[in-house]
Homo-oligomer: A and B are copies of this chain.
Amino acid sequence: MQLTLKKGILFVLSGPSGAGKNTLLNAVLEKVPEVYYSVSATTRPSRPGEVHGRNYFFLSPEEFKQGIEAGEFLEWTEFCGHYYGTPRRFIDEQLAEGKSVIMDIDINGAAQIKRQLPQVVSVFLLPPNLTVLHQRLVGRASEGEKAIRERLDKALCEVQALADYDYVIVNEDLHLAVERMKAIIMAERQRVSRIDCQRIIDQVTRGNV
C-alpha cells in the first residue's frame, strides 16, 4: 500500500560544486517514481544544448523582476549580474497533488526555502574530501586554475552550513550515495506526520471481521 501523503515532499539538495549534485539528482530522477525536478528560472543567456523549461526557464530581466514583484519565486538571488530563482507555482502544484519535488540549490536559497516551507527536507551532499573535489573540478576542464581555486575556497566556506541541514550524504561512491538518497526519500514518505493517520486507520480497520 502506497501511503497517501497529506502533501508531496520538497527535497532540496545542496553541496559544494564538484560534490556530484547533478549526477546524484539525475540518478534519483531516473530511479525513484513520483519525484520531479524543479526547474529554476534565470536571466542568464542559455548555453548550447540547454532547453527552456527543462534546464531553466530563461526569462528577460523585466520578466524576472515582475515575477519578484508578484511573489512568484520561492527564493531568488542575483549572481554575477544575473537573476536566479525558483518558481513557486510548479512546486505548489506538485506538492498539492502529493508528488515529490527535488531541486539543487545553494545554501542561501535552501535557507530561504526552509523559512517559507518548514516541512522541506534538506540534504547536504559532501565530497569525501577536498582533494577529490579538486580532482573533479580539474576533470571538468571547463575552468582555469583561478576559478577552481575560488570554487575550493567557496566549498571550504559552504561545508560549514552542514549543521543547518536535515540529512548528510558523503559522496564517496555514486551508487551508495544514490541508495542513501533513495532511503531518505522512502523513509520520509513513511513519516507519520506526513500522512493522514485517520485515513490509514480507516483503511486498515475497514476489513473488520
Contact = CB atoms under 8 A, between A and B. Distances in A.
Which of under 10, 10 to 19, 20 to 34, or 35 or more describes the interface residues of A?
35 or more
A130 interface: yes
Nearest to A162: B197
Contacts of A152: 209
Majority secondary structure of chain A interface residues (helix, strand, loop or mixed): helix
A184 interface: yes
A159 B197 CA distance: 10
Contacts of A134: 209
A157 to B, nearest CB: 10
A167 B190 contact: yes
Interface in A186-208: 186-188, 190-193, 195, 197, 200-201, 203-208
Given A163-B192, A183-B183, A190-B180, A130 B170 contact: no
Nearest to A127: B204
A6 to B, nearest CB: 13
Contacts of A142: none
